[in-house]
């Protein structure tokens, strides 16, 4: 193969060059001069130029040196549990039922105080003020000697040999000053720790607090409330309409229950803690219609020296050692404007009749609105009283 290749090269070495064929160049030039071809080439050129421009200039940092560094995110420190005051301060309302917080008091035009409450509504009124943090005014530590005895499920309140009764000994002392009196009960406490702390710390000590008997550490919560100055009550679960679908719990007082059943359940309920001056109802419209059930219930309270303050649905039922019925439930509609309207109505009723008692549940909007409303009562010519001051002995 090598020899053959050499002979071919040698034979071609001395041969004259072949003439060039000019028809190919002339054909290409002829094609390129056609208008459609010229337009197509121009388009291709434009696209190529645009692509080059975007590649080079499309990223402002194109061509700049870069580096990648692996970063380790430090874990955020765990926040301390909020106090009751923190829970109702700006930015902390998210702890309660996903309510959005806002600056609680912001100045409004003309020196008014614009009260912005948990659901975002605003209510203007009064001069600009902020709710104070109330100093503790502790009540005597419970139990008080002579006012309890051991029961089947815990200490039961009793009337002392010298005539002292829990309804008076565990009540917050009250001295009227001649102004119309208004009292407020906030209930449903003990199940939610943050809400309970908020009510204890945020509300003035004259506001009466009512606790759920099923709450864990119930005695601890009652001790904290009394140490702050609040008198306390226990809630008695009573049969409502729709029972058992609407069930207040295993120790519900039933309309069909006889005296023995009512007493057995009340021994458990009343023995859950000590230091309360009275009880209130939780639901119970069906139980209220039972003469036998209500008679047994009120008889037990009389024997133990305990007051009964209801939410307004038991007004025709006298009994217990002392009695009172609320004039208004302040948070049947859970909005700031509705709660303030109910509290203002309670205030007007107190000015007309000399006294008024309201009750509400420990919704954040209820506690926050009540805290601000009570802060200005004295300037509006009223006296805030504990609920026990509204009770009366039967027949008096």
pLDDT (tens digit per residue) in 218-255: 999 999 999 999 999 999 999 999 999 999 999 999 99
How many whole angstroms separate alpha carbon 170 and alpha carbon 129?
A: 33
Instruction: Rounding to the nearest 10 degrees, give the CA dihedral for residues 93, 97, 100, 103.
Output: -30
- At residue 383, does pLDDT exceed 60? yes
The 10 Å Cβ neighbour count of residue 170 is 28
SS3 track for the chain: CHHHHHHHHHHHHCCCCCCCCCHHHHHHHHHHCCHHHHHHHHHHHHHHHHHHHHHHHCCCCCCCCCCCCCCCCCCCCCCCCCCHHHHCCCCCHHHCCCCCCCCCEEECHHHEEEEECCCCCEEEEEECCCCCCCCCCCCCCCCCCCCEEECCCCEEECCCCCCCCHHHHCCCCCCCCCCCEEEEEEEEECCCHHHHHHHHHHCCCCCEEEECCCCCCHHHHHHHHHHHCCCEEEEEEECCCCCCCCCCCCCCECCCCCHHHHHHHHHHHHCCCCCCCEEEEEECHHHHCCHHHHHHHHHHHHHHCCEEEECCCCCCCCCCCEEEECCEECCCCCCHHHHHHHHHHHHHHHHHHCEEEEEEECCHHHHHHHHHHHHCCHHHCCEEECHHHHCECCCC
- At residue 23, does pLDDT exceed 90? no
Query: Is 362:187 a contact under the CB 8 Å cutoff?
Result: yes
Query: Is 255:287 a contact under the CB 8 Å cutoff?
Result: yes
In a domain, 272, yes or no: yes
In a domain, 326, yes or no: yes
In a domain, 254, yes or no: yes
Q: What percentage of the chain reaches a pLDDT higher than 90?
A: 62
Dihedral of CA 14/16/22/23: which sign? negative
How many whole angstroms separate alpha carbon 185 and alpha carbon 202?
A: 14
Best mean pLDDT range from 14-18, 90-94, 254-258: 254-258
- At residue 378, does pLDDT exceed 60? yes
Q: Which pLDDT score is estimated for 33?
A: 61
- pLDDT bracket for residue 55 (50, 70, 90): low
In a domain, 127, yes or no: no
Residue carrying structure tokens 């809400």: 195
- pLDDT bracket for residue 116 (50, 70, 90): very low
Total domains in the chain come to 1
Q: What percentage of the chain reaches a pLDDT higher than 70?
A: 65
Structure tokens at 140: 């005597």
In a domain, 25, yes or no: no
More confident residue, 177 or 60: 177
More confident residue, 35 or 358: 358
Q: Which pLDDT score is estimated for 304?
A: 96
- Mean of pLDDT over the chain: 78
Domain assignment of residue 207, given as a range = 157-390
In a domain, 54, yes or no: no
- pLDDT bracket for residue 295 (50, 70, 90): very high
- pLDDT bracket for residue 125 (50, 70, 90): very low
How many whole angstroms separate alpha carbon 300 and alpha carbon 268?
A: 12
- pLDDT bracket for residue 315 (50, 70, 90): confident
In a domain, 112, yes or no: no
How many whole angstroms separate alpha carbon 211 and alpha carbon 188?
A: 6
- At residue 27, does pLDDT exceed 70? no
What CATH number has the domain bearing residue 242?
3.20.20.370
- pLDDT bracket for residue 136 (50, 70, 90): confident
How many whole angstroms separate alpha carbon 35 and alpha carbon 194?
A: 84
Find, among 248, 221, 220, the residue nearest to 235 by Cα: 248
pTM comes to: 0.70
Span of 71-80, 145-154, 298-307, 371-380 with lowest mean pLDDT: 71-80
In a domain, 207, yes or no: yes
């Amino acid at each position: 193969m090598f020899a053959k290749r050499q002979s071919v090269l040698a034979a071609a070495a001395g041969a004259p060059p072949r003439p060039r064929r000019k028809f190919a160049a002339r054909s290409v030039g002829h094609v390129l001069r056609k208008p459609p071809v010229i337009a197509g080439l121009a388009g291709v050129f434009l696209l190529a130029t645009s692509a080059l421009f975007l590649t080079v200039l499309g990223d402002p940092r194109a061509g700049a040196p870069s580096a990648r560094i692996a970063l380790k995110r430090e874990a955020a420190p765990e926040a301390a549990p909020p106090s009751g005051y923190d829970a109702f301060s700006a930015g902390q309302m998210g702890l309660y039922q996903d309510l959005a917080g806002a600056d609680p008091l912001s100045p409004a035009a003309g020196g008014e105080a614009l009260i912005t409450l948990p659901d975002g509504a605003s209510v203007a009124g009064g001069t600009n003020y902020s709710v104070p943090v109330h100093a503790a005014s502790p009540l005597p530590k419970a139990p008080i000697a002579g006012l309890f005895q051991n029961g089947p499920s815990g200490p039961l309140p009793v009337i002392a040999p010298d005539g002292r009764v829990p309804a008076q000994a565990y009540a917050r002392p009250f001295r009227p000053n001649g102004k119309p009196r208004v009292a407020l009960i906030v209930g449903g406490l003990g199940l939610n720790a943050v809400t309970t702390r908020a009510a204890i710390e945020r509300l003035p000590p004259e506001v009466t607090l009512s606790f759920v008997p099923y709450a864990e550490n119930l005695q601890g919560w009652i001790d904290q409330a009394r140490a702050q100055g609040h008198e306390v009550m226990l809630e008695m679960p009573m049969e409502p309409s729709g029972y058992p679908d609407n069930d207040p719990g295993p120790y519900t007082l039933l309309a069909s229950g006889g005296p023995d059943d009512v007493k057995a359940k009340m021994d458990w309920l009343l023995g859950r803690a000590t230091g309360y001056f009275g009880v209130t109802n939780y639901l119970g419209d069906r139980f209220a219609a039972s003469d036998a059930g209500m008679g047994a219930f009120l008889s037990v309270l009389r024997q133990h020296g305990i007051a009964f303050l209801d939410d307004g649905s038991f007004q025709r039922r006298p009994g217990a050692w002392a009695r009172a019925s609320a004039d208004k439930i302040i948070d049947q509609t859970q909005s700031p404007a509705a709660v303030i309207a109910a509290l203002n109505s309670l205030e007007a009723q107190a000015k007309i009749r000399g006294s008024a008692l309201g009750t509400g549940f420990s919704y954040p909007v209820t506690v926050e609105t009540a805290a601000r409303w009570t802060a200005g009562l004295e300037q509006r010519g009223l006296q805030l009283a504990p609920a026990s001051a509204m009770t009366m002995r039967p027949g008096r």
